[in-house]
Amino acid sequence: MSSVSSVDSSVSAGRAATPSALRDRQILMELEQARLLRAVYSERQLEEVLVDFWFNHFNVFAGKGPTRAYVTSFERDAIRPHALGNFRQMLEAVAASPAMLFYLDNWMNTDPQAPQMGTGESQGRLRLGNRRPMGQQAGAGGSRAGEPPQRQAPARGINENYARELLELHTLGVDGGYTQDDIVNVARAFTGWTFRPRQGTTFTFARARHDDEEKTVLGHRIRAGGGMEDGRQVLDILAAHPSTARFIATKLAQKFVADTPPAALVERAARRFIATRGDLREVTRAIVTSPEFFAAGAYRAKVKTPLEFVASAIRATAAEVRTAMPLARTLRDLGMPLYSCQPPTGYDETAETWVSSGALVARMNFALELGANRLRGVSMASESTSDRDALRARIVDDILGGDVSAATRSVITRATTAEQVVALAIGSPEFQRQ
């Protein structure tokens, strides 16, 4: 369930939404629209694709408590500036982001031997209660959705949530060669990395909560007394690790080439990652200029995600978007509500997730509504739909490159109205693929 739906359901159940919850709902709606409008209208399409990729790679769920209040700064400050930048820099920006700190619970990660804090130290501190399952909303005894946690002394203990996902999902991969001891030591290195919600989305390092003893991560010794540098040393180790290079190269190649990318391409991209010390522009360049990218086998090998499908449909028909909320609702109907993927794995990139009879029917329904100008706030100019043959030529010949099956071409040719041309072309098997 999306965060917007969560607020709506609470209202329908008789619980009035708080002002802060309504404010955060508005923020999320504006974020959804901004993401969609950039996807449709931006002239820097590669950058938008990569922002979507990296947000998904470092996924945070906006429906978990006050996380939605921090998603704006997360995408703007931690993801977007680094999408074609340096991986190590993005890794630290993500680690220090209040959205990630709260979502994966590192704000409650505390050395169990740390002294009890006085009033001055705990002021502005997050309320630290029992750990809840990932994505679960705060309930009785916790903060209400959309409201900042209350002040309370930190929990006494190490929280491994962020450390585990940092190793498994953000860097090395599940087969990256780390152990449970590595997870514990990474968690110890990030004790004290937190933020103060009453001072805006500002990271802070609470030295009194940090485990300052010696640690060993992946065979590297981290000396005692390093403070915040312990976490940074961990990020240095992970960003330079061959498993990270291979994992990132695999995911990027999967995004741009095939669900199961060629091993030779992954190897070359991984070498480029290592040679450039994580220069994502160069790694991306190595993939999108590779022979494998232009190979016949990669042509339409990828199925569009719902976001890619909706954005490409609007671009293909040159529709005008006055409000993107109907498109955001379409994404929810298609199973991809923006900023509302609950698990830290993010949305899948593979075809098996998005191809089913129900999903294809939902896509066709969207195509029908778009073609008939029944999407509120979204419309095609009358001049673009007045000439049925010209519209068919533009979509089939220009957008699809004229490369459609005989069956698809026959079906579209039999369309008697411009609306049918749009619906049949956008709903065609060929349009579902990148």
Write the DSSP assignment of 146-212 as a string of letters: TSPPPP-PPPSS---HHHHHIIIIIIS-TTSS--HHHHHHHHHHTTTEEEETBTBSEEEE-GGGS--
Question: Which among 279, 300, 321 is the end of a domain?
Answer: 300
Q: Which amino acid is at 360?
A: L
Whole-angstrom distance between the N-terminal and C-terminal Cα of the chain?
28
Q: How far is CA 38 from the centre of its chain?
A: 15
Number of domains making up the chain: 2
Q: What is the domain range of residue 197?
A: 105-300
Number of Cα atoms under 13 Å in the Cβ half of residue 80: 12
Whether 255 shows a pLDDT value over 90: the answer reads: yes
Q: Are residues 282 and 425 in the same domain?
A: no
pLDDT in tens, 1-27: 334 444 444 434 445 677 877 877 888
Within-domain flag for 157: yes
Q: Are residues 268 and 217 in the same domain?
A: yes
Q: Are residues 311 and 376 in the same domain?
A: yes
Radius of gyration of the chain (CA): 24
Question: Which among 284, 300, 316 is the end of a domain?
Answer: 300
Instruction: Report d(CA 352, CA 347) in Å as an integer.
Output: 12
Within-domain flag for 35: no
Q: Are residues 380 and 411 in the same domain?
A: yes
Whether 151 shows a pLDDT value over 50: the answer reads: no
pLDDT in tens, 281-299: 999 999 999 999 999 999 9
Instruction: Report d(CA 127, CA 48) in Å as an integer.
Output: 36
Within-domain flag for 18: no
Q: Which amino acid is at 413?
A: T
| Mean pLDDT over each residue of the chain, to the nearest integer | 85
pLDDT in tens, 323-340: 999 999 999 999 999 999
Q: In the structure, what pLDDT confidence band is assigned to residue 125 with cuts at 50, 70 and 90? A: very low
Question: Which among 300, 323, 358 is the end of a domain?
Answer: 300
Q: Are residues 235 and 185 in the same domain?
A: yes
User: Does the pTM exceed 0.75?
Assistant: yes
